[in-house]
Amino acid sequence: MSQVRVRFAPSPTGFFHIGSARTALFNWLYARHTGGVFILRVEDTDQARNSEEFLSLIYNSLRWLGLDWDEGPEAGGEFGPYRQSERAPVYAQFLERLKASGRTYEKDGALLFRISGEPQVIEDAIRGRVERTEEKDFVIVRSDGKPVFHFVNVVDDISMRVTHVIRGEDHLSNTSKHTELFKALGEPIPVYAHIPLILKQNGPGKMSKRDQGALVEEYQKRGFLPEALVNFLCLLGWSPKDDREKLPLAEIVRLFDLPGVNQSNARFDEKKLAHMNMVYLHEMVPERCFVLARDFLFARNFFPEGAPDEAYLREVIALCQPKVRAIEDLPGFIGYFFSDDFAIDPKAKEKVFAKGDPKGRLGELLTSIPTADFSSDAALEVLVQGLAAQHGAGTGDYIHPARLAVSGSGVGPSFYGLLRVLGRDRVAARIGRFLATA
Ligand code: GLU
């Protein structure tokens, strides 16, 4: 068989949403699985509704997700241009061919296509055999001279040598028009694969751009990990047929195939996505987490007084990476690392003062700090264990008040890591202040 050529054909008339991303992804996966070509074709014929902003959002989101295209705008290719707004000469040429077939006629200034009226049967790679009969001739060039979607879509699939049309099920009802046109032009019909819909999280019906969690850009802004979103999107309609959910992309590429795509609709589940994102976050190499977190924090203007020391920020993020569910949780989690001006949680304070002699313990800890070894978590642990043994106390008698004193909170990252990263001077100053004021 000749090389697979698939295309993602968005119309830049709105924000880039989860459904479009999944269609792009399934095309990309199929191209990568087969060693084929992934084409990006911009269906920007609707001048009134298109915008360059929406288009750059599409490019940006595809790149963020890692869905690189082999042919298309900004990539080039021998079947371009890849924006329909630049392809008028191609449409004119195909229109001549269609006219020559004798299947067109004019009515009220528009050009219509005369259907065959025969049943149009496709063997859809996902849905199986689908039959539909067109009953009415349809417009292919409007009275204002603009060719309609059905015509340009088919012409481009022909002229870009598309072998497989993988698209949303909402286009299934258009397919009989398209096969009529392919046949009238004497061209082979591509393989169709209509992907089931994505249902909204709650309630019936298809997920729309207006639904909560529908826009890809939002996830990017919120610091989601693109590999987690890609993994999640793969599972919206496809599965590896075992119980695995988290799979490396290379493995998905190896396993993905069109007959493996479900026929039933998939339901969007934001909790599942958040969980997937957390699993990826916790497994990610610290340096990558640092880069993503740093960019996120700067984009949110988390350091209004200027950038912190990079090595310090790196340590803070490495310490907190296993403790947060998402990068977007970091701002609420790391504030006290960058400011001494943090509040003391009253509940945590009440708990700390409810038993033993927390101030006495803190005094002992403070005294030991000038000579303590802050170079590793283990050394700090040995220090606290030594104090506990010496004073007939438990390590918790030091840990809970000290955590409260240095961070204002009863919860947070690992205690010894917290001391190590904050460093001797901050720890001493904060314990001293706490003893004087609490
Ligand atoms: N431009 C169409 C859309 O945005 C694509 C149709 C197709 O993939 O054939 O849905």
Closest by CA to 91, choosing from 169, 147, 131, is 147
Which amino acid type is present at position 339?
Answer: S
Q: How far is the CA of 9 from the centre of ligand 1 (A)?
A: 5
Candidates 17, 54, 153, 170: which one to mutate for ligand 1, based on the most atoms within 8 Å of Cβ? 153
Q: How far is the CA of 26 from the centre of ligand 1 (A)?
A: 14
Q: How far is the CA of 168 from the centre of ligand 1 (A)?
A: 8
> What pLDDT is attached to residue 258?
97
Angle, nearest 10°, between helix axes 310-320 and 415-437? 110
Which ligand 1 atom is nearest residue 166's CA?
8
Strand-pair partners of 128: 124
Which ligand 1 atom is nearest residue 149's CA?
1
Measuring from each residue's beta carbon to the nearest atom of ligand 1, which residues come in under 6 Å? 9-11, 43, 153, 165, 167, 171
Judge contact between 221 and 27, C-beta under 8 A.
no
Which ligand 1 atom is nearest residue 23's CA?
8
Beta carbons within 10 angstroms of residue 308's beta carbon: 16
Which ligand 1 atom is nearest residue 178's CA?
9
> What pLDDT is attached to residue 333?
97
Q: How far is the CA of 277 from the centre of ligand 1 (A)?
A: 29
Closest by CA to 40, choosing from 50, 49, 27, is 27
Give the residue numbers annotated as catalytic, written as ranges.
Answer: 209
Candidates 43, 164, 206: which one to mutate for ligand 1, based on the most atoms within 8 Å of Cβ? 43
List the residue whose alpha carbon is closest to atom 6 of ligand 1.
Answer: 9
List the residue whose alpha carbon is closest to atom 3 of ligand 1.
Answer: 10
Q: How far is the CA of 166 from the centre of ligand 1 (A)?
A: 9
**Tokens, residue 311:** 């090595």
Candidates 167, 174, 192: which one to mutate for ligand 1, based on the most atoms within 8 Å of Cβ? 167
Among left, alpha and beta (phi > 0; psi -120 to 50; other), residue 66 is left
Candidates 157, 163, 171, 209: which one to mutate for ligand 1, based on the most atoms within 8 Å of Cβ? 171
List the residue whose alpha carbon is closest to atom 5 of ligand 1.
Answer: 9
Judge contact between 43 and 84, C-beta under 8 A.
yes
> What pLDDT is attached to residue 153?
98
Domains of the chain from N-terminus onward: 5-199 (3.40.50.620), 284-338 (1.10.8), 346-437 (1.10.10.350)
> What pLDDT is attached to residue 1?
63
Q: How far is the CA of 421 from the centre of ligand 1 (A)?
A: 52
> What pLDDT is attached to residue 202?
87
Judge contact between 274 and 325, C-beta under 8 A.
yes
Show the 3-state SS of the chain. CCCCEEEECCCCCCCCEHHHHHHHHHHHHHHHHHCCEEEECECCCCCCCCCHHHHHHHHHHHHHHCCCCCEECCCECCCCCCEHHHCHHHHHHHHHHHHHCCCEEEECCEEEECCCCCCEEEEECCCEEEEECCCCCEEEECCCCCECHHHHHHHHHHHCCCCEEEEEHHHHHHHHHHHHHHHHCCCCCCEEEEECCEECCCCCCECCCCCCCCEHHHHHHCCCCHHHHHHHHHCCCECCCCCCCCCCHHHHHHHCCHHHECCCCEECCHHHHHHHHHHHHHHCCHHHHHHHHHHHHHHCCCCCCCCCCHHHHHHHHHHHCCCCCCHHHHHHHHHHHHCCCCCCCHHHHHHHHCCCCHHHHHHHHHHHHHHCCCCCHHHHHHHHHHHHHHCCCCCHHHHHHHHHHHHCCCCCCCHHHHHHHHHHHHHHHHHHHHHHHC
pTM score above 0.85:
yes
Per-residue pLDDT of the chain (438 residues; tens, 9 = 90+): 689 999 999 999 999 999 999 999 999 999 999 999 999 999 999 888 999 999 999 999 999 999 999 999 999 999 999 999 999 999 999 999 999 999 999 999 999 999 999 999 999 999 999 999 999 999 999 999 999 999 999 999 999 999 999 999 999 999 999 999 999 999 999 999 999 999 998 888 898 888 888 999 999 999 999 999 999 999 999 999 898 999 999 999 999 999 999 999 999 999 999 999 999 999 999 999 999 999 999 999 999 999 999 999 999 999 999 999 999 999 999 999 999 999 999 999 999 999 999 999 999 999 999 999 999 999 999 999 999 999 999 999 999 999 999 999 999 999 999 999 999 999 999 999 999 998
Q: How far is the CA of 178 from the centre of ligand 1 (A)?
A: 12
